[in-house]
Structure 1
Amino acid sequence: MADKPVLSDPITLRLPLDILEDIEKIAETADRSRSWVIVRALKYYLMAEGAEMLSIRRGLEDAEAGRMVDAEELFAELDRLNREAAA
């Protein structure tokens, strides 16, 4: 059995009424709470678009901290590795 996640304090969220209606219909159909539906939707968002944004942010943070490789050096290393693999 998986451990239950640590939850935050409650938050307040205003939603367009049409979205709230859909959330309520889904919750009722799935016999789940509105919170469950919203958390699940947020997880899917974070796995898709959110993950891409977080990756971009990590890249920017790496660049600002000087953690990067010159493109010419990278291509030279890849060429070297390809030559070694072909030999």
Structure 2
Amino acid sequence: MSTRTVTAHIPVELAEQVDAYANKLDRPRGWIVKQALQNWVSLEERRHQMLLEGLKDIDEGRVVDHAEIVVWAKTLGES
């Protein structure tokens, strides 16, 4: 796999936290950053997919009226 260097300015406190985890896990700092970026990209891809699914539900009429949700919400916490 080919790689590319990416540079980012981050707060000192965050850099220190990354260094601490790198030491704790006995991994290079770059490994920690790579894992974090992979997780973030995966999360963003999932959020986008969920957004598309929600828009499809709306287009296909699979919605619940706001008034029904309000009535339901008022019952929460009741015994």
Normalising by the residue count of structure 1, what TM-score does the alignment of the two structures yield?
A: 0.51
Report SS of the residue matched to 2:7: coil
**Which residue matches 2:39?**
44
- Counterparts in 2 of 1:13-24, with a 5 A limit? 13-24=8-19
- Which residue in the other structure is 1:85 paired with? none
Q: 2:29 aligns with which of 24, 28, 34?
A: 34
Q: Secondary structure at the match of 1:22?
A: helix
State the percentage of identical aligned residues: 20
TM-score scaled by structure 2? 0.56
Question: For the residues of structure 1 that align with 2:37 and 2:26, how far apart are their CA atoms?
Answer: 19
- Cross-structure match for 2:20: 25
Runs of at least 5 residues in structure 1 that lack an aligned partner in the other structure: 1-5, 60-67, 76-87
Structure 2: runs of 5+ lacking an equivalent: 63-79
Paired residue total: 59
Runs of 4+ in 1 over 6 A off after TM superposition: none
Over the aligned positions, Cα root-mean-square deviation in angstroms equals 2.9
